[in-house]
Amino acid sequence: MNDVPNPHGITMREATRDDVARVVELIMLGAAKQTRTAAEIAEEARHPSYLAAFEAISASAYSTLLVAELEGEVVGTLQVTLTPGLVHRGRTRSRLESVHVDPARRSGGIGAVMVGYAVAFARERGAGLVELTSDKAREAAHRFYLRLGFKQTHEGFKLEL
């Protein structure tokens, strides 16, 4: 994955248990309708359910939680999930989830490095397609993904259980 342009010195790596609270903070800070204080976010990020979720991701052969580091600080995160399928002669799909960059560090190229790394990561593992969804309220994120070459080809649906 050395072919991913990275003029900023960003290091991409798999997340560890020690990163979980910071990853949750980044996800919460990046939420379209985030209304919690920094203290409330920090407290929520320490809830044990997040460590349990991290362990499930880590145990999966198909999911990887990644973090972006800059100068020793975790400044971004995303999850890559590979899904084998029968569509298009058995093409494996890769789904990017929870792509978040520290709001104070946005528009500095971190997200482009992260997504470029995730695309290369998926390609190396045999994926023939990378897809993602984004909250309808995150219009700046939509412009970002379009600039990176993604296309809005489908309408998404959810069913809360």
DSSP alpha helix (H) spans, the chain: 20-29, 38-45, 48-59, 87-90, 110-124, 139-147
- Dihedral pair phi/psi, residue 75, rounded to 5°: -115, -5
pLDDT at 38: 79
Q: What is the mean pLDDT of the chain?
A: 89
- How many other CB atoms sit within 10 Å of the CB of residue 104? 8
* Domains defined for the chain, CATH in brackets: 11-147 (3.40.630.30)
Q: How far is CA 27 from CA 5, 54, 58, 88, in A?
A: 24, 14, 18, 33
How far apart, in whole angstroms, are the C-alpha atoms of residue 159 and residue 144? 27
Would the pTM of this model clear 0.95, i.e. be above it? no
Measured CA angle at 30 (ends 25, 34), to 5 deg: 90
* pLDDT digit string, tens, across residues 60-80: 999 999 999 998 999 999 999
* pLDDT digit string, tens, across residues 77-110: 999 999 998 988 889 999 999 999 998 888 889 9
pLDDT at 44: 84
Q: Under 8 Å CB-to-CB from 160, ≥6 apart: which residues?
A: none
- How many other CB atoms sit within 10 Å of the CB of residue 126? 11
